[in-house]
Copies of this chain bind each other. A is one copy, B any other.
Amino acid sequence: MQLVQPIDTLCSGSYFLPMTTYAESLTRAHERFLSGLFPGDDCLLAPEALVPFSADASQERAMPWAVVRPETREQVEELLRWADTERLPVYGRARGTGRVGNAVPTCGGVVVSMLKMDAIIDIDENDFVAVTQPGIITAALQAKCAEKNLFYPPDPASVRISSVGGNIATCAGGLKAVKYGVTRDWVLGLEAVLPGGDVLRAGGRSHKDVVGLDLIRLFVGSNGKLGLMTEVTVKLIPMPETSASVLVGFGDLRSSLQGAGAVFRAGVLPAACEFMDKVTLEAVRRGGEAIPIAPSAEAALLFRVDGTEQGVAAEVRQLTSALSPLRPVSVEIGRGADEERIWDVRRGISPAAFRIRPNKVSEDISVPRSMVPDAVEGAHAIGKKHGLTVLCFGHLGDGNIHVNIMHDGDVEADVLAAHRAKDDIFRLAMTLGGTISGEHGTGLTKASFVPEQLSPLQMNLMDSIKKVFDPHNIMNPGKGW
C-alpha cells in the first residue's frame, strides 16, 4: 500500500519550481545516444535490468527509462549536457541505502549509477585529506585511511554499505556526530558536473578557505538536486589512540534520558551516545543471545569515548561516576574485542525490530536535547493512541531519535495507523522545536511535511537557488526539500 503523493502530481511541480515539461519517454535517438556514450552494460535499457534501480531502501518505487554507469567525468559532462537540452529527468544514485526515496526516479528519466566511479585518488598523510571518487564505500575509505593511522569520522549506520558520495549528497550523520559533527563538517572540496555539462570545482586541500560563498556546503545535503559529484576531497584527522565503550542499563526511561545530560555536564564529550528504550531492548532480547544489560533494565545508554589510553580511562571514570546518581541497574565497560561485542547490541536493533512486527515505518526526528524525554514519551503515547508498538533508539547525544513504528504491512488498517502515527510524530517533533529529519532527508516519504517545517520564504529561496544550478529542473525532480 502506497501512501505517498501519486507520482504524476510529484512530477508536475507540485512541490517544486518551474513546471517543466519533460519528455514522456526515451526516443530511439535517445537510446542510441545513451548506448553510444555508455558502451556495453554501462547502459541498461531492458525493463528487467532497470528494476533494481527503481527503488531504494525506502521501498518506494518508480521505473526509470534507462540506467547508465559512467566511468569518467567526461561521460557525466556529456550526459548532463544532453539531458539538459532534451529535458530529461536525471537521478543520481549510489548504493540506494537512502530511506526516504531520494534515489527513486519518480518522473522516469535516466538513473546515473555512480558506483563505477569508486577510485580512491589519494590519501595524503601530510595534507590530512583523502581525495576520492564518490562511489567508494565509506567504510572502505575509512579502512584505507586507518592503514595510514588517519581517521575519517562520519559514520552513518549504513557506513559499510553506503558511499562517500551518497553520504555527502544526503549530509549523512551517524553515531559519532555528537563529537565529530556530520558529513558537512568534513568536506573540503568537490568537483561536480552541473546540468548543461559545466564542471564546478570548489575548495581543495586547504583546511581553511573563505573566498566566496560556500558552494561546497550548498552541495552537501542537496540530494542530487544541483548536479552530480565526480570527485570529493575530505578532511582527515589523526586516528585516536584507543577507545572504550560503556553500556548502561537503567530501571526507568527518564533516568536513562537524563544520563546524556549528566555525562555532558560532567565535562565528557563522548564520541557516541546512543539510547535504547524498553521495547527496543525487548526486541533485541528476543533474539535469545545473552546481552550485557541487566534484565531489569527498561532503557539503556551506550557510550563510546576515544582518545589517549590515559584520557579514555579518565573519561570512563568520569562518565560512570556522572551516571551513578541516576542509579543504573547495570554498567558494562568494553575495551578491545569486548567493546565490539557491546556494540553488537546496537547493531542488532534494526533486524531485531522485526521480531515485534513484520513491517516498520522508520523515522529520524531530531529535537533540541532537552526535549528528548518529551519526544520519546510523546512517540510512545502516539504509538499507544494508534494501537501500534513504537521503538525509540538512536543518537541521544544529538537529540536525533530513530522512531520505528512497527506494524503489519498486509493489514490495511495497520498501515494506515502507522502512517497516521508517523504524521503525529513529525508534528510532535516540530512542536518541540525540532525537525522532521536529522539524517534521512525528506525525499518522497516526507515531502508533504516540508511545508510545515520550512517557511514559504525558505522554500522560495531554495527553489530559486536550485534554478541557478538547474534551470530546467532535470536533477532529481519530484522530491521535497
Interface, chain A (partner B; CB < 8 A): 124-129, 149, 170-171, 173, 177-178, 181-182, 184-185, 194, 198-202, 204-215, 217-218, 220-222, 237-241, 261, 264-269, 307-315, 318, 366-370, 395, 398-400, 433-442, 450, 453-455, 457-459, 461-462, 464-466, 468-469, 481
Q: Is the CB of B450 within 8 A of A208?
A: no
Cα–Cα, bound, A217→B238 (Å): 26
Copies of the polypeptide in the assembly: 2
Given contacts A366-B208, A400-B208, A439-B208, contact A461 B454 (CB under 8 A): no
A454 to chain B, nearest CB (A): 6
Query: Closest 6 A-B residue pairs measured CB to CB?
Result: A311-B311, A217-B217, A208-B438, A126-B370, A205-B368, A310-B310
Q: Which B residues touch A208, using CB under 8 A? A: 173, 177, 182, 366, 395, 398-400, 435, 438-439
Q: Is the CB of A214 within 8 A of B207?
A: no
Closest to A185 in B: B185
Q: Is the CB of B433 within 8 A of A238?
A: no
Q: Is the CB of A368 within 8 A of B204?
A: yes
Q: Is the CB of A210 within 8 A of B261?
A: no
Given contacts A202-B458, A222-B213, contact A207 B399 (CB under 8 A): yes
A240 to chain B, nearest CB (A): 7
Partner of A206, one of B241, B264, B267, B368: B368
Cα–Cα, bound, A367→B207 (Å): 8
Q: Is the CB of B206 within 8 A of A433?
A: yes
Q: Which B residues touch A209, using CB under 8 A? A: 366, 435, 437-438
Cα–Cα, bound, A170→B214 (Å): 11
Q: Is the CB of A238 within 8 A of B264?
A: yes
Q: Which B residues touch A240, using CB under 8 A? A: 267
Q: Which B residues touch A182, using CB under 8 A? A: 208
Cα–Cα, bound, A149→B433 (Å): 24
Cα–Cα, bound, A65→B386 (Å): 63
User: 30 A-B residue contacts at CB 8 Å?
Assistant: A125-B265, A129-B368, A149-B265, A170-B210, A182-B208, A194-B457, A200-B457, A204-B435, A205-B369, A206-B399, A206-B435, A207-B369, A207-B438, A208-B438, A209-B366, A209-B435, A210-B439, A210-B441, A211-B437, A213-B461, A214-B220, A218-B465, A237-B264, A238-B269, A308-B311, A309-B314, A310-B311, A310-B314, A465-B468, A468-B468
Q: Which B residues touch A399, using CB under 8 A? A: 206-208
Q: Which B residues touch A267, using CB under 8 A? A: 149, 238-241
Q: Which B residues touch A436, using CB under 8 A? A: 211
Residue of A171, A199, A204, A461 with highest tally of chain B CB at under 10 A: A461
Cα–Cα, bound, A313→B341 (Å): 30
Q: Is the CB of B222 within 8 A of A461?
A: no
Cα–Cα, bound, A209→B367 (Å): 9
Cα–Cα, bound, A205→B128 (Å): 31
A352 to chain B, nearest CB (A): 24
Cα–Cα, bound, A47→B125 (Å): 56
